[in-house]
Structure 1
């Protein structure tokens, strides 16, 4: 969505407010529901930090302005009636004031997105004793070598081993591929987008 499209939305239907459903852009989990007026939407697009209109305080508030747990905007899409918004964002910290990832306790998330987020965190923080840390410390060449090894083991398991072995080797291959992508500054989500684009 661009700033020029703000006036195209149906602001009159709900007295100048639109519900904004916030979804984690990494794993698809619904994080929260807030409300935006035209100013909050404009501020969100300008600053790339998700900003709402607080109905109780009657003012704009940027998510995380006190807690530091912000929502970095990825994209905003209006629904087919132009009277509600889907906000894709990357959360920094917990979204819920109860110190949960989502305000909806049991909101599902795509596991591959969660795995990718954990791997990205390991790359940033490099916790001692972590196998993922050791891989990142070894560098791209070693990670690529591991992907090659796991690919061969997966292929062999597909030909000469049982289903459990094939599934185990496949899991190892996906994990090491995710690490390789992250080491190159890429993500599983980007690879999945390429795959999805080939469905046509």
Structure 2
């Protein structure tokens, strides 16, 4: 890896810090050659602090270290993407990220769908959507619907019609997301359980 520390006159390159699991950007720091070498050797992310004008290992005072998982260099060889497992909050202000955002996984379209389901569930104007009607019918009806969709997925899995299988799978996932919220949970709660089983 040929990092171009000489591109800028200060000998520093930006280091974007990303959570290995959630893929959220946690912070931006700067590294010189020595900071990079120490990071690789210790597996704890070390920066060159422009404010302190010295090397600085994240968490050296707070204990909130960033454990190195992987690193990549951009196409111009002058910016690092550092994947980490953070220990505690990353920002010195005590938040998970330097943008004061929670470091929770998001699932793109599925997270947007969860938000729509939640809006329909909490709709105060008596919305007449399919989702709202299921919530009005209660947990038994929602659970029954998940069971029905699961059976249909199994049936279609045994046939050769991929389109029907995918459609029934989408129906099952959609109704499962509704059931999760009916029980007061979201996908992140399931992810937490799965992560706990990796040990």
Is 1:22 matched with 2:17?
yes
Unpaired runs of 5+ in structure 1? Answer: 113-150, 186-200
Is the partner of 1:111 in helix, strand or coil? coil
- Give the Cα–Cα distance (whole angstroms) in 1 for the partners of residues 173 and 45 of structure 2: 45
TM-score, normalised with respect to structure 1: 0.59
Distance (Å, rounded) in 2 between the aligned partners of 1:173 and 1:48 = 33
Distance in structure 2 (CA, Å) of the matches to 1:95 and 1:59:
19
Q: Which residue of 2 aligns with 1:55?
A: 50
Instruction: Pick one of 183, 191, 194 that aligns with 2:197.
Output: 183
Gaps of 5+ in 2: 108-145, 154-167
Give the corresponding residue for 1:168.
178
* Higher RCO, 1 vs 2 (CA within 8 Å, ≥6 residues apart): 1
CA shift at 1:157, angstroms?
A: 7.7
For 1:181 and 1:153, how far apart are their aligned partners in 2?
28
Deviant stretches of 4+, over 6 Å: 161-164, 170-174
Q: 2:4 aligns with which of 7, 10, 17?
A: 10
Q: CA RMSD in A?
A: 3.3
Separation of aligned partners in 2, 1:40 and 1:33? 14
What TM-score, normalized to structure 2? 0.59
Shift of 1:60: 0.7
67 and 167 in structure 1: CA distance in 2 versus 1, 3 angstrom threshold? closer
* Alpha carbons 1:28, 1:109 under 8 Å: kept: no
Q: Which has the higher helix share?
A: 1
1:49-93 Cα distance to aligned partner (Å, 9 max, x none): 000001122211100000111100011111000001001101111
Counterpart among 63, 69, 82 of residue 68 in structure 1: 63
Q: Which has the larger radius of gyration?
A: 2
Q: Which of 76, 96, 99 is the matching residue for 1:104?
A: 99
SS at match of 1:99: coil
